[in-house]
Structure 1
Amino acid sequence: MIALETRYGFRIDIRTATHDDEPALADFFAAVTDEDRRFRFLSAVHQLSAGQLHDITAFDDHRHESVVAFAPGGDKVIAVATLAADVQGGTGEVAISILPDHKGKGIGWTLLDHMAQAAKSWGIARLQSIESRDNRAAIALEREMGFSARAVEGDPTLVLLERVF
C-alpha cells in the first residue's frame, strides 16, 4: 500500500489492483452513479461483465495498470484509476472513477497526479483522457493540471484532453 494525502488533507491508501479485487470492483461500479459509469465507459453500462472486470485488473508492466484506493484502514474500494499505455507510440490513456460520497476530497487530483507520474516513469510522453463533453468536473480538473483540450474528430459528444511531458 502507498499512503497519499490529497490537496484537501484527505488520506487514501492505494495499491495495484489484482484479479482478487474483481468482486470488490463489481461492488464499486454498482455503487457509482449511472452518469459516472457512462462517463467512465463512454456508454450506458449498468453492470460490468466478468470480462470487463478482468480487463481492469489485468497488470502488464509498463502497458496497463489499475490502482484501487481505500480510506485508511478500510477495505472498501472508494476510487479506481487505470492507465493503459502504448509504450511504442509514447502515449497513455487514464481513466478515474470515484464513489459519489468521496467526491470533492481531492481524490481525483491525487490519483491523476499519481498516474501521470507512473506514465512518466514508463517513458510516456503524452498522457490522454477521453471525456464526455458533459463531464465538466473532469475536464476542469484535467485542464487545471495542464491538459489541453480539443474536440474528438467525428464525435461532438467527446473531448480529448492531453498533457505532454
Structure 2
Amino acid sequence: MVEPVSERAAAPHTLPAVSWSADLTTRDGYVFHVRPASPANEPALAEFFEHVDREDLRFRFLSAIHKVGQDQLRALVTVDHEHIESFLAFDPATGRIIATAMLAADESLTRAEVAVAIRADFKRRGISWTLLDQVAAFARAKGIATLESIESRDNHQAIELERQRGWIASACPGDPASMMLRMTLSA
C-alpha cells in the first residue's frame, strides 16, 4: 500500500508538476486528461472514492475500509512532488476524476511503490493500463530504477494487468495474502 511519508522540502532538481499534465489515449481510443493532484482536489477526490467498488477500495488501501477518510484524502493531495506524486485522471466530458495513481519513492529515488484506483463505471477501458505507463514515464524521468506494487492475491485483475505491462510477480515477504510485483525501468 502506498502511504505518503512525511512532507519534505523539494530538491532543486524537482520535475515541474505542470509538465506531467497531458491528454492520454487508451488502446481503445478513449482520451482522458491526467495531471498531478493539488490540495484543491480534495473534495472531488472524496466524491471519486464514493464511486470505487468496495473490493477495489480494499485492494487499493490493503484494508477493509468502507470510506476513505479525511486524513487519507489530504495525504493523497498534499505531496512533495519529489518523492511522492499523486496523479488524477479526469473524464473530459464531465470533468470528474475517474482514476488515481500514486507513486511513493524511497529517499534515494531508486525504488518507488505504485497504487492505482479507478471508478467502477470506467473500468475495462484501458485507463489503468495507460495511467501505469504515465507513472512509469514519470518515474523514469526522475531516475527511479524499480517500480513496485503490493497486491492482494485476490486482486487478479491488477496482477494480470501488471504482468501484461512487464511486471514480475513474486511472494510478498512476510505476507502470504499479498504479492509483490516489480518492474525494472530502462534508462
- What is the alpha-carbon distance in structure 1 between the residues aligned to residue 109 and residue 141 of structure 2? 15
Partner of 1:92, secondary structure, is strand
In structure 2, the residue matched to 1:8 is: 28
Q: Paired residue for 1:22, among 29, 35, 42?
A: 42
Identity across matched positions, percent: 47
Match of 2:184 in 1: 164
Deviations 1:48-72 (A, max 9, x none): 2211111111221331111111112
**How large is the RMSD of aligned CA atoms in angstroms?**
1.1
What is the aligned partner in structure 2 of residue 37 from structure 1? Answer: 57
1:34 Cα offset (Å): 0.7
Q: Which structure 2 segments of 5+ residues have no match?
A: 1-20
Quick check: 1:65 aligned with 2:65? no
Q: Of Structure 1 and Structure 2, which has the larger fraction of its residues in strand? A: 1
- More divergent stretch after superposition (67-76 vs 98-107): 67-76
Q: Is the 8 A contact 1:58 1:65 kept in 2?
A: no
TM-score, normalised with respect to structure 2 = 0.85
- Residue 133 of structure 2: which of 94, 101, 113 is its match? 113
1:98 is the counterpart of 2:112: no
Give the drift of 1:137.
0.7
| Aligned residue type for 1:43 | S
TM-score for the superposition, normalised by structure 1? 0.96
Which ranges of 4 or more aligned residues in structure 1 deviate by more than 4 Å?
A: none
User: Does the 8 Å CA contact 2:41/2:77 hold for their aligned counterparts?
Assistant: yes
Give unmatched runs, 5+ long, in structure 1. none
Secondary structure of the corresponding residue to residue 31 of structure 1: coil
* Distance in 1 (alpha carbons) for counterparts of 2:92 and 2:80: 27
How many residue pairs get aligned? The number is 165
Q: Does 1:131 align with 2:151?
A: yes
